[in-house]
A and B are shown apart, each in its own frame.
Chain A
Amino acid sequence: MINDKVITIIKREINAKLLSKGFIAMTILVPVFLFGILALQTYFIGIDSEDFASLIIITEDEKLSYEIQKEISENELLQKNFSFNYEVKDSIQTTELIENQKSSLIANELTGIVFISNNNLYDKKINYFSKNPTNRQLFDKLDDALNQALLNWYFTDKEISEDDLQFARSWVDIKGFRVSDKDEIEEEGIGNQVLSFLFSFLLYFSLLLLGSFMMQAVIEEKSNRIVEVLLSSATSQDLMVGKILGNALTGLLQMAIWLSPLMILISTSWFVLPKEFILSISWGNIFYFLVNYFIALTTFLGLFSCVGAMFDNPQDAQQGVFPLMLLIMIPFFMTFALQKNPDSTFATIISIAPITSLIVMPARITLVDVSLIQLVGSLFLSILFLVFVFILAGKIYRVAILSTGSKPTLAIIFKWLKAK
């Protein structure tokens, strides 16, 4: 499989990529882009939180109204960004008020009306009337204050001490401690969750991007007929393997550069992360990620080059590339489900099954300690799948790469697979 011609093609691919402005720019810009996106997201969240809202809070009970005013007046954030009017009305009067304020609500002069009926005091069901009744951001800020006010109202006159009341008011706070083969049991912050997302995003992003580049390069070689010159010197298998390995090695180097901050973090004490962002990651994790990435990249470059060989131009190739994009996108979205319980049966299956494991397992190993048998099993199945892809893609590639004219149908592709 690897001969002198393949090595020559690998060398050319690596030289062409490493020295290209595109590679250098992408290697530098992707981390900047990633951190930029995070910074922008944080900035936009900040902007949203400063949105002004004006509310009318209606209760049927005066005492409750007092408790709410007290609770809100002690809340700095609510005081800063909200204006409140408090009313005590029954449900009929409230209906009338809503009717009177309808135009203000529609014109956004009034953000909303909160109504706490006496009928619902004990089940804590609150009605909210607004042009935008599903404003989750507003509820997140308001519901704690309202809940505290209801608690205060409920326990007044029940002869409960302030300490008991404070106990009842406070929420449970669950801290996770990771138990692993290490001597120490470490407190788990959100650092590993961020890392899990980072791993799966890097895989998703680079597989899609490098796969598309590969497809375009194959289409270009096919359309400007370099491929005929190359095939007069090497076999189609040499050409395909050389191109894929050359690009996969370049991609691997790029990924190693992107991960270098993590490697520095593991091997030195140059950086100190805030306590909640502390990472629990080992060299084994990084090594597994890179090995898995190389297999994933080789698999998908094989599939993308096969699609590139089938078509004469990028427009036609979009049709063929869509199923491949789904093969990358679906496992990526599966990693979101992984965050809830990375050791569930579903998480275990998708982190071992071919294709999905390529993106899911690297994310999973940052969240839980995965057994060696699962890690090896996942890699073994991925390699088996890679061999299958190479056999299949090679059969299509060798015929398709010299075919020109109309777009291939499924029947034609099947014929290519059977061709001598």
Chain B
Amino acid sequence: MHALEVKNLFKSFGDINAVKDVSFNVPEGAVFGLIGRNGAGKTTTIRMILNIYLPDKGEVIFRGNKVDSAFKDQVGYLPEERGLYKKMKVLDTIKFFAELKGKSGKEINKRANEYLERFELSDRKDSKIEDLSKGNQQKIQFISTLIHDPDFIILDEPFAGLDPINTELLKDIILENSKKGKVVIFSTHLMDFAEKMCDHIAMINNGELILSGSLKEIKTRFAQKNVSLNYEGDLSFLNGNPIIEKISDFGNTTGIRVKEADQIQKLLKLLIDNSINVKKFDANDISLHDIFVELAGSDL
């Protein structure tokens, strides 16, 4: 059984159709990426999942039941635009959000102190939120999202504004939760993160679902004529070559798509013949970014 089933969601605001017939399934224990550019309809979809917006049509099923206000207690939500009460103290803030989810007492105190220690904020628990740096405020928001030990975690751009050490710490905590069997949904426009962390994805463009399923299966499906290349040299000789369909240059890495799957060996020979110093040649590999560009017809 899927943890979450999103079925034919529609939502419009006046003349704007924000979400059009979006359906996807999130398996139990998945780290799920909801991917699309800004304004694609990701946040509206999440708000409908959380029952903040009522869909014009369609429904969201969580473990066999239609989502209602009781579902909110099982969710930890980190919105894209963070929001905390500036005058509240750190520990009070965390306890307030836990209590809103129906959890309070010693257990919450203990968990809050553990998280604060892990994020190196133990000495700031009596500080007011407004006295913390933006990065530290973000950590408090993240702790508040997880403090009630939710079964279902929705994170919108969780790494924005964090330094590399805290990004790593956050990633560890997310993976820990995933290992415990929690369902994690990412909403992001950064394909790199989604590719590294998610095992399932749904891609939304202009309010419509353009792709969904297991990341592995999707990549296998799209990668058959692709090569991911790291090199030194000049690739301009490939322009106009009859075996090449498309070249996407990202600086250090270049994605090359050949017209037929059996032309990959010819491509490798061409590179060596033209004195290209090949550092990595990964056949049948394609980035999520390339898949998005191919499907949406434009860059992110």
A binding-site residues for B, Cβ under 8 Å: 4-5, 8-9, 12, 15-16, 20, 221, 224-235, 402, 420
Measured between beta carbons, the chain B residues less than 8 angstroms from A228 are: 47, 52, 79, 81, 83
Nearest residue in A to B53 (C-beta to C-beta)? A402
Task: Tell me if B82 counts as interface (CB < 8 A to partner A).
Answer: yes
A420 close to B88 (CB less than 8 A): no
Given A4-B102, A16-B87: A232 and B72 interface contact (C-beta under 8 Å)? yes
- B39 to chain A: closest CB distance in Å? 13
A229 close to B77 (CB less than 8 A): yes
Chain-A contact segment, one of B93-101, B113-121, B181-189, B230-238: B93-101
One of B47, B50, B83 near A225 (C-beta < 8 A):
B83
A231 close to B52 (CB less than 8 A): yes
Measured between beta carbons, the chain A residues less than 8 angstroms from B83 are: 221, 224-229
B81 close to A402 (CB less than 8 A): no
The complex places the Cα of A86 from the Cα of B235 at a distance, in Å, of: 117
Measured between beta carbons, the chain B residues less than 8 angstroms from A227 are: 83
B52 close to A16 (CB less than 8 A): no
Given A4-B102, A402-B52: A233 and B97 interface contact (C-beta under 8 Å)? yes
B87 close to A230 (CB less than 8 A): no
Task: Tell me if B133 counts as interface (CB < 8 A to partner A).
Answer: no
Q: Known A-B contacts: A5-B100, A229-B83. Give 19 more (CB < 8 A).
A: A4-B102, A12-B96, A15-B92, A20-B87, A221-B83, A224-B83, A227-B83, A228-B47, A228-B52, A229-B77, A229-B79, A229-B97, A232-B50, A232-B72, A232-B77, A233-B77, A233-B97, A233-B100, A235-B51
Nearest residue in B to A232 (C-beta to C-beta)? B77
A225 close to B72 (CB less than 8 A): no
A contacts with B: majority SS: helix
How many residues of B sit at the interface, in one of the four size bands? 20 to 34
- B146 to chain A: closest CB distance in Å? 13
A225 close to B79 (CB less than 8 A): yes
20 A-B residue pairings within 8 Å (CB atoms): A4-B102, A5-B102, A8-B96, A12-B96, A15-B92, A221-B83, A225-B79, A225-B81, A228-B81, A229-B79, A229-B144, A232-B50, A232-B52, A232-B72, A233-B72, A234-B72, A234-B100, A235-B51, A235-B69, A402-B53
B84 close to A226 (CB less than 8 A): yes
The complex places the Cα of A105 from the Cα of B268 at a distance, in Å, of: 111
One of B75, B85, B101 near A226 (C-beta < 8 A):
B85
